[in-house]
Chain A
Amino acid sequence: MDGKLVERARRELAGAEPQEILRWALERFQRIALSFSGAEDVVLVDMAVRIRPDVAVFSLDTGRLHPETYRFLERVREHYGIALEVLFPDAAEVEALVRERGLYSFYREGHKACCAVRKVAPLRRRLAGLDAWVTGQRRDQSPTRAAVPVVELDAAFSQPDRPLVKVNPLAEWSSAQVWAYIRAHDVPYNALHARGYVSIGCEPCTRPVLPHQHEREGRWWWEDAREKECGLHAGNLAANG
């Protein structure tokens, strides 16, 4: 599938419900898998097994998840009778990371080195054999996701000779719609939600957020956005001079 087809799919699926988007994706791609983070993206698992009971679902076990999340992953596996694949990072890479930087390097040096080893590398390995994957990204999760489309060519993981399609069926749904679905269909959910966690990631890097705070504010909160880019604007000079 190339960029033009993605464009067409986006037009066709404009305003469609997540179930229709999922059905489109699961019927169109054989080599497709759903990425499940252990949070409220469980609604996608619920929707997908109704369409394709043997749908491939995977989760990334960074080794740093909350105990509640591990229990929840198991509960989802049992509840839906799916062969949930749990992906682990490369043991030698984690050992090297911890040996060289310690167990909490992210608080001092930023999260990227740790996330690269524990999340991105195993994810890339899994995605290498796929034509499409499904994520639970939503536009209302953070200002940086405000433009997440329902279907896109994956800019990070596509290969020049092998495009990878990313499907985001919940892109246009709000958190309230997700929770209405969870209640209406009696979908199991992570116990951390009842303790104020909106976004659920790794235990050391996630904290509950206040009402009306963006989910993203509950992650890597110690990192200063201003440090992330080094400007060459004249304004830098004025500010520093």
Chain B
Amino acid sequence: MARVTMVKKVLADGRPCRKCAEVEARLRGEGLWSRIHRVVVADERDPEGEGWRLARRHGIATAPFFLVEDGDGTVRVYTAYLRLLREVLRPAAAVSALDLLEAHPELDFV
């Protein structure tokens, strides 16, 4: 099974970023938290820390993001929770309307 690493951001005042907290709450709420093997923090107080290094290495500009390592060592990067859900965590399950809206902000026209 693929190993999933979540990289989340912690603000200078020690609080997690709002989006990261939201995504974590949803993973927990949907019983998927156990599928996250490792959590790495990009702490604003430690710009040389592992989270920031991973963001730079993979060219990622938003938090949270996920690294999915397959058995053969290849690493896929996910910045969209919905895609992670669809492709890795719960490929067969229906996507919620909220996930759909999160992934498609252009639906605001509705």
Contacts and interface: CB of A to CB of B under 8 A. Distances in A.
B62 A115 contact: no
Interface stretch (B15-23, B31-39, B67-75): B15-23
Interface in B43-90: 44, 47, 52, 55, 60-65
Contacts of B100: 116, 120, 124, 156-157
Which of B11, B64, B107: most chain A CB closer than 10 A? B107
A116 B96 contact: yes
A231 interface: yes
Given A229-B19, A232-B9, A232-B62, A216 B108 contact: yes
Contacts of B109: 135, 137, 141, 145
Interface of B: 9, 11-12, 17-20, 42, 44, 47, 52, 55, 60-65, 96-98, 100-110
Contacts of A4: none
Interface of A: 35, 37, 60, 112-113, 115-117, 119-121, 123-124, 135, 137, 141, 144-145, 155-157, 216, 219-220, 227, 229-234, 236-237, 240-241
Given A37-B110, A120-B107, 8 more contacts: A115-B110, A116-B97, A141-B109, A156-B107, A231-B61, A232-B61, A232-B65, A240-B11
Contacts of A145: 106, 109
A23 B103 CA distance: 31
Closest 4 CB pairs of A and B: A116-B98, A116-B97, A120-B97, A121-B97
B62 A156 contact: no
Contacts of B64: 230
25 contacts: A37-B110, A112-B98, A115-B107, A116-B98, A116-B101, A117-B97, A120-B107, A141-B109, A144-B106, A144-B108, A145-B106, A156-B100, A157-B100, A219-B108, A229-B62, A230-B9, A230-B17, A230-B18, A231-B63, A232-B42, A232-B52, A232-B60, A234-B47, A240-B11, A241-B44
B19 A156 contact: no
Contacts of A144: 105-106, 108
Nearest to B60: A232
Contact of A123 (B11, B44, B102, B110): B110
Contact of A237 (B19, B47, B62, B98): B47
B101 to A, nearest CB: 5
A116 B82 CA distance: 14
A144 B107 CA distance: 11
A119 B109 CA distance: 11
A233 B102 CA distance: 21
Contacts of A232: 9, 42, 52, 55, 60-63, 65
